């Protein structure tokens, strides 16, 4: 049996229209702003932390990370995203998950209009997830990196 649930979420000032299609298996189909993403469910997280849904739907890979709940619950820290400021191609990636970053550190490089632009960390924190790979074409506003601010 397939259940559908539509969520209108605002995360970090950005609006998301999320449609979750659950067919009862360990994976669900999530449509974020019209973009279809297959997501595996961490059963524990799904049952114990139903409120974690916004994080699940928004950054699907986060679900597969070891302990997504902790990151949300951790005192004073907030999970934030770094967006592509313009369309382009990822030319290099300088950070890995769990890496500590300082404000101004270069996270990755985005080549746009034949110019290689460093994407800098807006604040200090720890990298949660890198959502792009080298040579990936990204759209304006696409999430590049998720980090937990300190």
Partner 1 sequence: MNLADLATLIQAPYHLTPGHLVMMAVGLLLIYLAVSKEYEPVLLLPIGMGAVLANLPLTGITDEHGLLGMFYQIGIETEVLPLLIFIGVGAMTDFGPLLENPKMALLGAAGQLGIFGTLLFALFLGFPMNQAASIGIIGAIDGPTSIYVASLLAPELLGPIAVVAYSYMSLVPIIQPPVMRLLTTKKERQVRMPYQAREISRRVRVAFPICVTVLTSLIAPVAAPLIGMLMFGNVLRESLVVPSLVKAAQNELINLATLFLGLTIGSTMTAASFLTMETLMILGMGLAAFVMDTVAGLLFGKLLYVLTGRKFNPLIGAAGISAFPMSARVVQRVGQETDDQNFLLMHAMGANTAGQLGSVVAGGVVLALLT
* Binding residues vs partner 1 (CB under 8 A): 85-87, 104, 112-115, 117-118, 120, 122, 139-140
Question: In this complex, which beta carbon is closest to partner 1, that of residue 64 or of residue 102?
Answer: 102
Min CB(3)–partner 1 separation in Å: 35
Q: For residues 56 and 98, is the Cβ–Cβ distance under 8 A?
A: no
| 131-136: long-range pairs with CB below 8 Å, 24+ | 131/59, 131/61, 132/90, 132/93, 132/108, 133/90, 133/93, 134/90, 134/91, 134/92, 134/93, 135/89, 135/90, 135/91, 136/89, 136/90
Question: In this complex, which beta carbon is closest to partner 1, that of residue 100 or of residue 139?
Answer: 139
Whose CA is closest to 107, among 88, 76, 73, 130?
A: 130
Min CB(139)–partner 1 separation in Å: 7
CA-to-CA distance for 29 and 141, rounded, in angstroms? 22
Question: In this complex, which beta carbon is closest to partner 1, that of residue 10 or of residue 75?
Answer: 10
Min CB(110)–partner 1 separation in Å: 9
Min CB(9)–partner 1 separation in Å: 21
Question: In this complex, which beta carbon is closest to partner 1, that of residue 21 or of residue 123?
Answer: 123
């Amino acid at each position: 049996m397939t259940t559908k649930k539509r969520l209108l979420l605002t995360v970090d000032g950005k609006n998301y229209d999320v449609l979750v299609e659950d067919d009862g298996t360990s994976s669900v189909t999530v449509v974020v702003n019209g973009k279809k993403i297959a997501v595996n469910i961490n059963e524990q997280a799904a049952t114990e932390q139903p409120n974690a849904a916004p994080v699940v739907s928004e950054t699907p890979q986060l679900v597969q990370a070891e302990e997504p709940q902790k990151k949300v619950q951790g005192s004073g820290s907030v999970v934030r995203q770094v967006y592509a400021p313009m369309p382009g191609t990822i030319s290099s990636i300088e950070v890995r998950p769990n890496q500590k970053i300082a404000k101004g550190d270069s996270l990755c490089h985005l080549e746009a209009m034949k110019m290689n632009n460093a994407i800098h960390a807006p604040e200090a924190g720890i990298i949660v997830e890198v959502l792009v790979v080298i040579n990936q074409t990204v759209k304006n506003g696409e999430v590049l990196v998720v980090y937990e601010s300190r």
